[in-house]
Amino acid sequence: MSSTRSGGRSAIVRARVLAAASDLVTTKGPQNVTIPEIAQRAGVAASSLYRRWGDVGALLLEMAAERLAQKFPLPDEGSIEGDLRCWTEKIVLGLNSTEEPIFFRILLAAGDVAPEKRIKALAPRREQLQAMLERGRARGERTPTVEDLVDHLLAPLYMRALVGLPVNEALAKHLVERLLNTPP
Amino acid sequence: MSSTRSGGRSAIVRARVLAAASDLVTTKGPQNVTIPEIAQRAGVAASSLYRRWGDVGALLLEMAAERLAQKFPLPDEGSIEGDLRCWTEKIVLGLNSTEEPIFFRILLAAGDVAPEKRIKALAPRREQLQAMLERGRARGERTPTVEDLVDHLLAPLYMRALVGLPVNEALAKHLVERLLNTPP
């Protein structure tokens, strides 16, 4: 019982911390947010935030990945090709919008976060991608792996945006076709 | 004559500005360098730097791309496969080294630089890649495009490093083979 209560309390504190972090990132930008500020805004001791996340980069990354998973659920179009087309088109829209791609900026700003913490923070999104691929596998489709999606869809779209090359729907379509037509 | 002299003077000023920018980035980190500081260190009016580069991100990017091209010439192994293997292995070493991947950090920090300025700043490296591919074409090899190298070699290596997935020689080898074996 007590562990349930403490789990509940811990979840409430976590939600308050992530909400405070989200507010601060929106007003100040990911580069300018610190653990003590988040702690103060959430009404929690900074020491407990350091204990749980270690550094501000890991905390922001966890917050951003959770928001991303909530705000942008992955498509369920009935086929892997349809899902990947729909998903990559949304990424293209995001990369071309004038709104700040806040999630990507947080990922980029997390330069000092250890690899294992990055993987942990990004777990919610990874699980959604995994579930989308599982649906395809259950339908008997040949499906790529999550790593394939990172390597051959996410990566080229973001890298092109980074170096200033065009990112558009035709490219997204081409990358999806290329991935699905390449032997594993 | 006067245009030659002015070209020479302009080249000297440019070299002084880029050297000042390089020094400041090394001591303060790319996030904390400003145009007025670079101007002061180089002994040049800040207004002329704003006129030439527009913003500090574009200036740092040009400096970083030039240093990259000078410090890390591309391989010439006698075959496209050998060149790409050698080049991607160096990228893997760089991503796994404890030294700061300063060029990548500058690219990431250049969030506000317009796409056409990014492309211009990255031109020296692009030309080196182009020359490497031209050598292969001249030898009669089927060669990928520079965009292919960005999409299918550079991008997955960097994106994996960003999300915390392993980046190693086996992956580099696999990506090169996959690129060379995929129909255009």
Contact (CB<8Å) A156/B178 = no
| A144 CA: distance to closest CA in chain B (Å) | 14
Here the tokens at position B68 are 């990259």
Average pLDDT over chain B, rounded to an integer: 88
Q: From CA A38, how far away is CA A23, in angstroms rounded?
A: 9
> Which pLDDT score, from 0 to 100, does residue B150 have?
94
Q: From CA B128, how far away is CA B122, in angstroms rounded?
A: 10
Convert the pLDDT of each residue in B42-60 to its tens digit. Answer: 999 999 999 999 889 899 9
Q: From CA A105, how far away is CA A107, in angstroms rounded?
A: 5
Over 70: is that where the pLDDT of B2 sits?
no
A107 contact B CB<8A: yes
DSSP per-residue letters across A114-180: -HHHHHHHTHHHHHHHHHHHHHHHHTT-----HHHHIIIIIHHHHHHHHHT----HHHHHHHHHHHH
> Which pLDDT score, from 0 to 100, does residue B71 have?
81
Mutate which: A151, A152, A180, vs B, most B CBs within 10 A: A151
* Average pLDDT estimate for A52-77: 89
Contact (CB<8Å) B119/A158 = no
> Which pLDDT score, from 0 to 100, does residue A6 have?
55
ipTM: 0.83
* Average pLDDT estimate for A39-49: 96
Q: Give A107's contacts in chain B (Cβ within 8 Å).
A: 162-163
Convert the pLDDT of each residue in A121-148 to its tens digit. Answer: 889 899 999 999 999 999 999 999 999 9
Q: From CA B52, how far away is CA B10, in angstroms rounded?
A: 11
Over 80: is that where the pLDDT of A183 sits?
no
Q: Are A53 and A59 in contact (CB under 8 A)?
A: yes
Q: What is the Cα gyration radius of chain B?
A: 18
Q: Give A68's contacts in chain B (Cβ within 8 Å).
A: none
* Average pLDDT estimate for B21-48: 92
Average pLDDT over chain A, rounded to an integer: 88
Q: Are A133 and A160 in contact (CB under 8 A)?
A: no
Contact (CB<8Å) B165/A119 = yes
CA-nearest residue to A163 within chain B is B118
Contact (CB<8Å) B122/A156 = no
Here the tokens at position A12 are 């409430």
Helix intervals (H) in B97-167: 102-109, 115-121, 123-138, 146-149, 155-163
A158 contact B CB<8A: yes
As a whole-number percent, the residues of chain A with pLDDT over 70 amount to 93
> Which pLDDT score, from 0 to 100, does residue B94 have?
84
End-to-end CA distance of chain A: 49
Task: Among A4-13, A29-38, B19-28, B133-142, name the most confident range.
Answer: B133-142
Here the tokens at position B89 are 């292995």
Q: Are B105 and B33 in contact (CB under 8 A)?
A: no
Binning pLDDT at 50, 70 and 90, where does residue A86 land?
A: very high
Q: From CA A39, how far away is CA A169, in angstroms rounded?
A: 42
Mutate which: A163, A174, A175, A176, vs B, most B CBs within 10 A: A163
As a whole-number percent, the residues of chain B with pLDDT over 70 amount to 93
Q: Are B159 and B123 in contact (CB under 8 A)?
A: no
> Which pLDDT score, from 0 to 100, does residue A70 have?
84
Contact (CB<8Å) B107/A163 = yes
* Domains of chain B, start order: 1-54 (1.10.10.60), 55-184 (1.10.357.10)
DSSP per-residue letters across B4-36: HHHHHHHHHHHHHHHHHHHHHHHHH-GGG--HH
Looking at B90-99, B134-143, B147-156, which range is the least confident one?
Answer: B90-99
CB atoms within 10 A of CB B27: 9
* Average pLDDT estimate for A90-96: 88
Over 60: is that where the pLDDT of A1 sits?
no
> Which pLDDT score, from 0 to 100, does residue A28 have?
87
Largest CA distance in chain A: 56
> Which pLDDT score, from 0 to 100, does residue B100 have?
62
Contact (CB<8Å) B164/A105 = no
Looking at A1-10, A83-92, A173-182, B174-183, which range is the least confident one?
Answer: A1-10
Q: Are A43 and A16 in contact (CB under 8 A)?
A: yes
> Which pLDDT score, from 0 to 100, does residue B99 have?
67
